[in-house]
Amino acid sequence: MVANAFTGGSASVAYGYETDFADHTSNVPSFTDTFGLQQKVSSLSLNTSRIDLNKLGQVEPSKFAYGQQQGALSMGFVYDDIQSYKLLKSIYGEPTVSSGTYTYPAAASGSIYTGTSGTSVSPSRTPSLSTRIQVNAGTNNILTRTLKGCVVNSMGISTTIGETVNGTIDMAFAKEDTADIAAATGTFVQQDASAINQPSTPYTFAHGSLKLGTGSSNAMTEVAEIQDVDVTFTTNNELLYGLGSHYAKTSFRKIFDIGGRFKTTFKDKYLLQHVIDQSRTENETINEDTSNVALELMFTNGNRSMKFEFGGVSLNDHSTSGIEPAEVIYEELNWKSKFSFVTVDTTA
């Protein structure tokens, strides 16, 4: 008898934020949220940190011991207009909410145009979540994996001509203490089940805009003919272990890195000159002032929108391509930001 090969068509993924880090004893996450449309598990690994113990008089290992459990999960998805924004809590903490509009971080103040973040600080430990992955392998054979204490290491957003707004999220997780096999009846939660909050309409490249400001307050100019754009938020989260357990006890974050790149058609010297001016002044000294440099990336679906604002922006480098017969000349810039605000409007 040939065994069946199971596909993503018999799987489901959902997550929920935790009350207690990697601990479901008192409060079990709801597992009602999805990452977005077309979500997929790009990679999933679990490492027990095996220690090989050898012995005099033989060349084979004598015993094995096991250290800290370490897990990693990477997800891919398409940003939608009512679900995907909830992932921002995993890097910014709780938002400020007002009539269907969510602002991250909650204490956002200052201005992206003046380079002052004010009290716009993200939490020292980002909220953790649990992720449930199920595979329906038939009667009495439903595999449920519950990944506890998931903390986001990086979150990405990217899009290009003719595409949706695509997302990636890379997480470390602290604990997977069992892989459940249960009877089929009533245990497998279909991806489109009413118990799971369903994503709605995807954001697309065609309904996006990128603006750049390099001068006075609020002087933002749209960068025309963008070809592709991407942004990466990196929390540099690390799991923290303690004596007496091979599971992580908590997590902590290091420097919050925000950066990205965009590609556009070459029209004038504006972007190139800014890169030159940002790094050199008249007396040939390094100019570190990025206080009036800002970026705004926005996507819309009718009244709904997702706006990313980046302040204290450093345009790292400038590259040019296409200087050849009968080809379009493009310029590409990489950048890094000191801080950011995100505003999401979910009102229909």
Split into its structural domains, the chain has a count of 1
Separation CA 73–CA 43 (nearest Å): 6
Separation CA 12–CA 39 (nearest Å): 9
pLDDT in tens, the chain (348 residues): 556 677 888 899 999 999 999 999 999 999 999 999 999 999 999 999 999 999 999 999 999 999 999 999 999 999 999 999 999 999 999 899 999 999 998 766 555 544 444 444 556 678 999 999 998 877 667 888 999 999 999 999 999 999 999 999 999 999 998 877 765 555 778 888 888 999 999 999 999 999 988 765 557 889 989 999 999 999 999 999 999 999 999 999 888 999 999 999 998 887 887 777 766 555 554 455 555 678 999 999 999 999 999 988 888 889 999 999 999 999 999 999 988 999 999 998
Cα→Cα distances 196→34, 75, 200, Å? 7, 17, 12
Is 57 within the bounds of a domain? no
Is 3 within the bounds of a domain? no
Is 329 within the bounds of a domain? yes
**Whether 256 contacts 235, CB under 8 Å:** yes
Is 5 within the bounds of a domain? no
How confident is the model at residue 145, as a pLDDT? Answer: 92
How far apart are the two ends of the chain, measured CA to CA in Å?
53
Contacts 24+ apart (CB under 8 A), 26-32: 29/129, 29/130, 31/130, 31/132, 31/189, 31/196, 32/195, 32/196, 32/197
How confident is the model at residue 289, as a pLDDT? Answer: 53
**Whether 177 contacts 276, CB under 8 Å:** no
DSSP-derived 3-state class of residue 295: strand
Separation CA 142–CA 147 (nearest Å): 16
Nearest to 142 by CA among 131, 154, 134, 150: 134
Is 181 within the bounds of a domain? yes
Is 123 within the bounds of a domain? yes
Separation CA 16–CA 28 (nearest Å): 9
Separation CA 341–CA 314 (nearest Å): 16
Supply angle C-alpha 33, 44, 148, rounded to 5.
50
Owning domain of residue 127: 11-51+63-345
Is 36 within the bounds of a domain? yes
Q: Residue 305 CA to chain centroid, in angstroms?
A: 18
Is 210 within the bounds of a domain? yes
Separation CA 161–CA 180 (nearest Å): 43
Separation CA 95–CA 74 (nearest Å): 24
